[in-house]
Amino acid sequence: MMHIAYVVYSRGGMSLKLARQLQSSMGGDLIMLREKKPIAESLLYVQGSFLAMMDRERAVENIGSLAAYDVLVFVMPVWAGAIPPAMRAFLHSRIIGDKYVLGVLTHQGAPGEAPEKLRRLMLEAGIPFPTVVDVDSRGDFEDLSSGNLYYALMEALQRD
């Protein structure tokens, strides 16, 4: 049996909602990624977007080892067409190892350059064949079983 970890960074709640739905349908553990010093809510849109566009990082709390997991699903929002600084810092601080890794981006419209930026970041983290799926959260994730995300997860669970 494959052990799945959903490593989630969410400030607005949509990425967390998607991760919970995935966990409910596929099983696994939910691990929240938190900044050591979170950006104040009043500054989040401006400061967070700026830092994301500039490919900056923000230190995150230690979540412990991911060695027990076979499948890692990183779930995060798109900020200004980029990866949130906390997830960027987390991926730069980790050696992932021999695991199936799926990056999931939530957005409300278009993902911009975020999928390609996440692929590059995952390659830099030592993930040889990164899979990235973006999900438009305007649909409220009604039918996860019909999209690319479901098929990517099923592929992970069926690998030898």
Which pLDDT band holds residue 134 (cuts at 50, 70, 90)? Answer: confident
Q: Is the pLDDT confidence value at 10 over 50?
A: yes
pLDDT tens track for 106-132: 998 889 999 999 999 999 888 888 889
pLDDT tens track for 69-99: 999 999 999 999 999 999 999 998 876 777 8
* 3-state per-residue secondary structure call for 112-128: CCHHHHHHHHHHHCCCC
pLDDT reported for residue 98: 75
pLDDT reported for residue 103: 93
Cα dihedral 77, 83, 85, 86 in deg (nearest 10): 50
pLDDT reported for residue 160: 46
Domain boundaries, the chain: 4-158
pTM tops 0.85, yes or no: yes
Distance CA 29, CA 14 (A): 18
Looking at domain 4-158, its CATH superfamily turns out to be Flavodoxin domain (3.40.50.360)
